[in-house]
Structures are given as C-alpha cells and as structure tokens.
Structure 1
Amino acid sequence: MATMDVLSAKFLRSCLHPHAPFLPCPSLPSRRYRQPFSIYCRLSTSSPSSSSAATTSEGDANQDLSALLSDESTTAAPGAGSRTKRPNSGASSIPSGVRLENISKSYKGVTVLKDVSWEVQRGEKVGLVGVNGAGKTTQLRIIAGLEEPDGGNVVKAKENMKIAFLSQEFEVCASRTVREEFLSAFQEEMGVKTRLDQVQAALERATEDMDLMGRLLDELDLLQRQSQDVDLGMVDVKIQKLMPELGFVPEDADRLVASFSGGWKMRMSLGKILLQDPDLLLLDEPTNHVDLDTIEWLESYLKIQDVPMVIISHDRAFLDQCCTKIVETEFGVSKMYKGNYSEYVLAKAIWVETQRAAWEKQQKEIEHTRELISRLGAGASSGRASSEQKKLEKLEKEGLIEKPFQRKQLKIRFPERGRSGRTVLAINNLKFGFGDKILFNNANLIVERGEKIAIIGPNGCGKSTLLKLALGTEKPQEGEVILGEHNVLPNYFEQNQILLPGRSS
C-alpha cells in the first residue's frame, strides 16, 4: 500500500470515528522490508449463489486478520512501543563484567566447586585452567545462568546483562544461507519485521472493512515504533560490516552453511554472538576441530575486542596470545594469576617453591617444639613444657601451612622395538579424492627413521586422509604407498578414540 493510501485510510477512519485521535503515520519501512509474505488468511471473491460460503470465508478471514492485532494496538498511546528499561538494582560492586564470590557446587554428593572467587571486567580476558573435571565449564554455566550454585554469589555489573556463550559445539543450521544464519541472531528484530510484513499485507487486503483497517493501522504504528526501538534498519548494515571482519566475502552471503568447514562455522557462531553486542563473552574450547589459520585469525580478532571474556582452552599458545589473567581451579578452589598462560606457569612454580619452603620450615619448627616438650615434660620445667604444648596445639589447629600439591606429569613410554630400516614410508605419485574433489595429485613423500613430521593445512585438505592412506585403511586411486619392510609397525591415534577398532589404538 502506498504512503498516500495509508494516510487516506487514516483520514477516512478519523472521519468515521470522530472521537478517535488522528495520529500522523510515521515513515514506512524501506522497500526491502516489503517483500511478499504468506499471510494467515485466504481471501476470495464469490458469486451471489455462494453467499453463505462467502460469509463464512470472510468471517474466518476477519478472524485471522484480527489475530495479527496485539492488545496494545487498540489502546496504545504515542510512544507506547518504546522498550521499557528495567531499573538497575544498584547493589552491584563491580563497574563492568561479573564477579564470582565463594561459589560452591556439588553433583550427587560429589563436590566440584567449594571456594571459587574471581572477577572479569571490561578489557580483561580470563583463561580458566585446570584438569578435566575441575569444574571449568560448570563455572561458565553458572555465570550464564544455566545452572544455580549451591552457595555463593554471582555479582553482575548490571541487572539485564547480555551474556553470550560460545560452546564447544557451534550452533549453526546447515540448511540456511550465511546471511540467514547471521539474521537468526536478531530474534526480536526479525519478529518485529515479520509482523510488519504481515500487517502491511493484511492492509492491502482489508480495503472494505474500515474498522479493521483502522485497527491494522494502529498496529502498524505500534510496530513501526518498535522497529525504531530495536533499530531494525541497522540489521543489514551490521551484518554487512561484520562479514568481512570475520573473513567472509560478499558472495558468501548466499552460500549454504553446509558448504563451509568447521572453522568457518565457528566464525559464524562467533559472529552471531558479537552481533548481539554482549556485555560478557564466554568461550568453551573455541579452537576445537579448527585449523591453524582459523586459530591464528581468532587470536588476532579476540585481542582487539574490548568486551570482557572468559575462555576455556587446552591450547597453551592460544591462552598466551589472548589472556590477561589466568584462573586455576584445583580441588574445587580457585586461584587467580595476572598475565597470560606462560606467566601463570612461572608464577605458579614460584608460588609452589615458596609454599614448599614455608611448609618445610614450619614442619621443622613443629618437630623442634615436640622435642623440646619431650625434654621439658618433667620436673621444674613442666610449666614451660605446658606452655609450648599449648602453642603447638594452637598452631596445628589454626596456623598450619598446607603442603603444596604437585600433580605428577603423565609419562608415555612406547614399547621397545628393533631398529627399523632407513625408509619408514614412501608415497609415490599418489592420486586420491572423493567424487569430484581431488585431494592429492601426483603427491610424493619420503619418511625416514627418526623423523617427526607435522602435517598442516586448512580443514578438508586431506590431512587425516593422508594418515589413513599410510595406514592402509584407504587405498590410493593411482600411485603407491609403501611401508618399510624392516621392523615398521604403524599405529594410529585418532581424534575420536571411541571409533577405533580393537588393536588399532
């Protein structure tokens, strides 16, 4: 419907209803939002002979059209579409980010967290470290509100804090295009856009019912105020600005998500989170199953972001590049170290040595006091012995220094085998691919005894396939793969060990 048509309908409605206020119609959305939409109702023309059926059809249509109207559209005053801001409680003692205070959490009687306290503020990137099962992901879930702690407090900088959680499994829909995937980040905005399309389409069909048209126009007013509140016109601008920052080219917008590798899907997941302008970003193993190029891109991208972040990763180099603080969780207790991972390792080693020296000194003092008490236990010195005994009991009750715990390093020992021949593996003129995708074309490789070789490249280039060709689980289409004949026993440690057959691991 053209703008003049809408204004005419408004004027006509005000004439038909003299007591209804005449509200100037705000500017209509741009044409990109006025695409045809499949509306709820089905309108049809009828001949006089089918008036009864037509009446029923029109009644159903009007009922469906009425379903488009919100309760607010009949009573909304100008500006009623504005988003209501919830007041801040003002109780927070942290200017930005979030703070954990004495958090505890147990599962089925097993204590995972018993004294966890740390904070992250704007500009800081905290790395959570600890052994598997130490409670790192549990802390993220508590911050995100996905789990409740048994004790302690989560102090947030503001009441309605937007917390984004990038989990280990990237949440993307393979059947969408890249642009559709980014649009899915704007749920509230897309909801307003959908209703705008529906109401505008309904207006074009409700030309004979002035009362319904007036109500639809009120709804249109309300929705347009809402579209201004949510900044609907900037959605496409934000996506177009972000895509090149994530490494996408304009042509990628219409490509299916399914056509991209895991690394690019991670970029989409991160992009959807950043489009929501979060107050806090939580990342759980963001470098899992992505190639080196993507990890390097992610490092450089996160470093320039000012939003406070909490990162779980077993990639030491990644934590070195990104983090400004490290929080270690051990036996349910957290300890914070300033700096990146390498600085944490050094600081932790110094702390362990200092703690061990203090513990050893105290143990010597305790032993000396016990010997003194034993010598003074009888005769005239018994009073002094009693005094020393009380001091010892107080020390053992209140002031004992805890012996620092050092986890034993895992040592892997491969079984001894006889010396192999000089050539362990030879690949000659290898050709291999899947369907139309060629992975190797006249590839050649020689591996000799004692060499340690890293195979690098983007996801999908054939790294794992090359190992399977060497192992013999895949056969070359052309060329040959030859294992050394003398004392060469291949073994394969796969990413997903559960998939390995009996003796292959």
Structure 2
Amino acid sequence: MVLCTKLHRLDLRSTFFTSLRPSFTPNPSSSVSPKTFKFRPTKITAQVSTLSVETSVKDPESDIESLFSSNTEEIDRKRSNKQSNTGASGISSGVKLENITKSYKGVTVLKDVSWEVKKGEKVGLVGVNGAGKTTQMRIITGQEEPDSGNVIKAKSNMKIAFLNQEFEVSMSRTVREEFMSAFKEEMDISDRLERVQKAIEGATEDLELMGRLLDEFDLLQRRAQAVDLDEVDAKVSKLMPELGFSPEDSDRLVASFSSGWQMRMSLGKILLQEPDLLLLDEPTNHLDLDTIEWLEGYLNKQDVPMVIISHDRAFLDQLCTKIVETDMGVSRTFEGNYSQFVEAKAAWVESQYAAWEKQQQEIEQTKDLINRLGAGANSGRASSAEKKLERLQEEGQIEKPFQRKQMKIRFPERGRSGRSVVTIKNLEFGYEDELLVNRANLSIERGEKIAIIGPNGCGKSTLLKLIMGLENPSGGEVLLGEHNVLPNYFEQNQAEALDLDKTVLQTVEEVAEDWRIDDIKGLLGRCNFKADMLDRKVSLLSGGEKVILM
C-alpha cells in the first residue's frame, strides 16, 4: 500500500538541517564521509547477541595462581576440540526443525513447525504478530526448549550468531578494540601471555615458580598457534574496509558513530567469528535508507546460512531465497523471495479451497447415498458408503484454508479540519553549541501524508517533538491550524511504556473510561485480538502485538 499519496520530500540533509556538519574544519581537498559526522541529538543504545563477544578484563595485580590454567579449563577445551569433529546426522550444513511444538501457559504457539536452512540459503520467517517467529529463533539458539520435536544441526558445536534490532557495542572502546572483542578466546590468551611473560621477568630468584611459569607460557603459546592468534589482527584489518571503515577510523571511539555505523560494527563482530548460522531479528529497525541499502548488498554477498525476521517487504525481496510462513502454529515453505511468496500463497489458498469444496461435496453426496440406501437389500452398499464417509472425515480430511481478517481501525469522528494543519516558520533548534534545525519552513495541509527522511541522528524525531510541543524551539514558531486540529504522536519505543502485568483488556479499559465494555472488545477484535487473548497478560504478547495494543 502506498502510504504517501501526496508526498512532500522533506530531506533533513538540506540547508536548514545542519546537525550533520562535522565538529572540526576539514581539509578543503579532502572529502568528508557521513560516518565522520558527530551526532549529539540521538541517544544510541545497543545490544548484540552473539555467542562470545565480551572481552574479559583481568586485574594485572591479581594473585599469581590466577596465571595458571586450571584442570577444568583444560578438560573443557579438550572436550570442545573433540566435539568439533562430531556432526549431527541428516544435514550437511545449517539447521533443520522437525515437528516443533511450543506452548506458553496453555496457549499453543507452535504445533507443527518443520523447515530447514542450508549453506547459501537466506530464509525469511514471516507471519502475523504473535505467530512464533522469534520463538523459533530462540529454540534454534537453545535459549528455549521445544515441547516436542527436534532441532537438527549440521554439527554439535555449531556457531550460531544472533543480530537483532538492538546493537550492543561498548561506547568507550575504539573501533579496532570493538572488532577485536569478537575474539574472546584469542584476546584472553594474548592477555595471559603478556601477564605470564611479566611474571617470568619478576621470578628470577624462585626457580620452582619460574619452571611453572615457563610451562604455562609454553602451553599458552601452543594454544595461540591453535587459534591462529597471529591472524586476528589481519582479519580485522581485512574486514574493516569491507564494512566501509577507513584506516583512520581504527582509533576513533565507538560513541562518535551513528547507530547505523554501530550496526556495521555489530555485524562485523559476528562475521569475524565465522558463524555457521546467522539469525537476524528485525535488523533494519531504526536504520536510515542508505544503511538498509548497504546492509542488503553486504548480506547478499555472504553464503553463510541466514534466517531473517523482518516486516520490511523490500528487504525480504532483495535477500531471501526461501520464505517460511508460520500461521495458526503451522509452518509452510515457499521457494523464492517475498513477492514470489505472496503469489505462491494466493495460488495455494485457491487450490486448497477448491480441494476442500470438492471434498465437502463428496461428503454430502455420500451422506445422501447412505440415507437412501439405509434399509433392505441395499444395506450392504450403505455399509460401504459409511466406511467411505468415515475414511473421508478421519483420514483424508482437507482443512479449509484459514482466511485471516484484515485489521480494521476506525478513528473517532471529529469533523473536518481546516485546510491548514501545521505551519512551520523559520524554526531553529539545537543542543548546546550545535545547531540541529536551521530556519526550517514547512506547510502541512488537510489530507496530506508526509514522509520525513534523512540519515540516523539528523533530527527527524526531534522535528516531530517540536511540532507536538514536547521540545521548545530556540527560534521561529510552529503553528497548529485554528479549526478542529487535534495532534497526536506515536513514538518509536512507545510500546515500552505498557504495564506488563495488566491484561490486554485492562490496558484498553484504563484509557477508555467512557466506553462500554462491548465496544472495547469490538475495537480489540478489529485489531485482531481474539476473544481468548483479552485476558492474556501484556508480558506474553509479541513485540508487534504490543505495538498494536498501544
């Protein structure tokens, strides 16, 4: 659906939005890349869920015994090496789900989920909010256990990396340090080698301690060779330009980059671990258009098996080789990208419905035959017909394809507004000494739908807050239309304000004090909250369901 029927292209990179200007004066002969700009207005939070990304920090003055490898550590390492040679039967790469079921507090989320992803494939997991897409990812990573069914992995010690919409990075590290943190074991060995070497230099008068330290140093050197410690720096140096970072970026702090560039760091740390499977949960949320386009291109070049959850249809079209839809707890696999899936799904529904109708006609005809042959000399034929009916109803029953109703939202009638809705005149706004909005002018009229675009951190949300009066401009003015204009604002993270202990019905009742209970239930029904969901706690809803509830 085309949202912007009459589109004003308000580009925040134009002359009146100047927050992207660097805080230094560049050499006139040098070009300035967007990644070098300093962002102040956007507070960036992050999380990366990869396996083993945090670098352990040791106290250099800790007890001397902490320098020596424990027996348990050696046993775990040997067990890990042994496991790396054993694989799971049935698949050569990736992962396979077989007949997975999962329920939460009596509510069945998954009841028959089977699909697989192999090397070179990029699988898009799609389905309505609450269908169990993220649950399947958590089952793959081992964060949750299925009630029944099997998760078959190509090898038992498979490296599974999970990139979600929150990127965890350390703001105090440099870019190179952030990438190096992906090598937890390697960095730990390097740190211990350095500390053992210093301890050897200070143990010249204790021959017994000297001997133990030399043995430990020899052990660590062998471990360093086994994990290719010498290759770590080379791998980071090779990957950085592939992700768009220049050599000069190595010593810059992570905090000086926008969230889009921090996403590249998070993705880079994952790829440095050389995962056997990459899971991406809404990776494009909060990214600007340029960064999304870069991410599409970069992921397309990777042949590691990928599973992607996204509501961005264009993103799924560009990347996916296969779509797995989960509906009513059951999964179905369709070859191709999202657009091809939509066509194939429509054809499947049409074919399934025709087969269901044909079977229903056959059942009715068989029932009619039984009624006509139920007595006398035809009882034998009637008995055969009854067996046929039983077989149709129990063994070969074709399910009627479920046609999900479209969500319908009707806003309360408030009457027609005046022609002028919002007028912005010479608007100025900034943080401290940095000007973010510089003499902005904009007119919004009744019926218009306007897209505000621009790089991450350039002030798009700030502009909306200025219109709503949540921020005060340092200059200029925002004028709302005088006739029948009621502004409202849905924030990016507004769903986080929900009370998780309340039920779905209680949440809406709280803000709809003058509504009849039947009207509230009707509203929730139009938003696809079925009757059995009204008493469900908000904490049990999916992220998308929380947004709809909000």
User: Which bracket does the TM-score occupy, shorter chain normalised?
Assistant: 0.7 to 0.9
Amino acid at match of 1:216: L
Conservation of the 8 A alpha-carbon contact between 1:82 and 1:226? no
Residue number in structure 1 paired with 2:61: 40
The residue type paired with residue 239 of structure 1 is V
Match among 190, 194, 205 for residue 202 of structure 2: 205
The answer to whether 1:166 aligns with 2:166 is no
Alpha carbons 2:282, 2:309 under 8 Å: kept: yes
C-alpha change, 1:342 and 1:212, in structure 2 (3 Å) is same
- Residues 29-68 of structure 1 correspond to what in structure 2 (within 5 A)? 39-40=60-61, 64-68=63-67
Report the 3-state secondary structure (helix = DSSP H, G, I; strand = E; otherwise coil) of the residue aligned with 2:110. Answer: strand
The CA deviation at 1:257 is 2.6
Report the 3-state secondary structure (helix = DSSP H, G, I; strand = E; otherwise coil) of the residue aligned with 1:133.
Answer: coil
1:387 alignment counterpart: 384
SS at match of 2:112: strand
Shift of 1:459: 1.6
* Alpha-carbon distance in structure 2 between the residues aligned to 1:452 and 1:66: 67
Deviation for aligned residue 1:85 = 4.2
CA shift digits 1:222-261 (9 cap, x unpaired): 2112111111112122122222222223333333333333
| Residue number among 344, 350, 354 corresponding to 2:351 in the alignment | 354
Q: What's the counterpart of residue 464 of structure 2?
A: 467
Structure-2 residue corresponding to 1:287: 284
Aligned positions of 1:206-355 closer than 5 A: 206-355=203-352
Comparing 91-100 and 347-356, the one that deviates more? 91-100
Q: Normalized against structure 1, the TM-score is what?
A: 0.81
Supply the distance in 1 between the matched residues of 2:104 and 2:486 (Cα, whole angstroms).
Answer: 44
Q: Deviations over 1:54-81 (max 9, x none)?
A: xxxxxxxxxx445423468xx9xxxx99
What residue identity is the alignment partner of 1:68? L
Separation (CA, whole Å) in 1 of partners of 2:511 and 2:99:
46
C-alpha change, 1:258 and 1:171, in structure 2 (3 Å) is: same
1:495 aligns with 2:485: no
Q: Tell me if 1:421 matches 2:418.
A: yes
Flag the 1:82–1:249 CA change in 2: closer, same or farther, 3 A.
Answer: farther
Cα deviation digits, residues 282-306 of structure 1 (max 9, x gap): 1111112222222111111111101
Change (3 A) 1:462 1:341: same
The Cα of 1:82 is off from its aligned counterpart by: 13
Bigger shift: 374-383 or 134-143?
374-383
What SS does the corresponding residue of 1:428 show, helix, strand or coil? strand
Distance 1:478 1:371, change over 3 A: same
How many residue pairs were aligned?
440
Query: How high is the TM-score relative to the length of structure 2?
Result: 0.75
Matched to 1:430, the amino acid is L
CA deviation profile, 1:25-58 (whole Å, cap 9, x unmatched): xxxxxxxxxxxx97437xxxxxxxxxxxxxxxxx
State the distance in 2 between where 1:377 and 1:213 align. Answer: 100
Give the match's secondary structure for 2:130: coil
Change (3 A) 1:82 1:235: farther
- Structure 1: segments with no counterpart, 5+ residues: 1-36, 42-63
Q: In 2, Cα distance between the equivalents of 1:320 and 1:121?
A: 19
Q: Quick check: 1:482 aligned with 2:503?
A: no
4+ residue segments displaced more than 4 Å: 80-83, 498-503
**Cα distance in structure 2, aligned partners of 1:359 and 1:426:** 57
Structure with the greater alpha carbon radius of gyration: 1
* CA distance in structure 1 between the aligned counterparts of 2:201 and 2:385, rounded to whole angstroms: 96
Q: Given the superposition, is the C-alpha separation of residues 70 and 492 from structure 1 closer, same or farther in structure 2, using an over 3 Å criterion? A: closer
Q: For 2:133 and 2:101, how far apart are their aligned partners in 1?
A: 13
Query: Structure 1 residue 366 and structure 2 residue 363: aligned?
Result: yes
Q: Kindly indicate whether residue 186 of structure 2 is the aligned counterpart of residue 189 of structure 1.
A: yes
Change (3 A) 1:197 1:462: same
Query: What are the ranges of 5 or more consecutive residues in structure 2 without an aligned counterpart?
Result: 1-57, 499-509, 513-549
1:376 equivalent among 363, 366, 373: 373
**Percentage of pairs with the same residue:** 73
Name the CA shift for 1:208/1:265 in 2 (closer, same or farther; >3 Å). same
Q: By how many angstroms is 1:359 displaced?
A: 0.7
**Alpha-carbon RMSD:** 2.6
Task: Report 1 or 2 for greater relative contact order, CA contacts < 8 Å, sequence distance ≥ 6.
Answer: 2
Contact 2:88 2:156 in 1 (8 A): no
Please give the alpha-carbon distance, in whole angstroms, between the structure 2 residues aligned to 1:309 and 1:433: 41
**Which of 425-434 and 166-175 deviates more?**
166-175
Secondary structure of the 1:406 match is coil
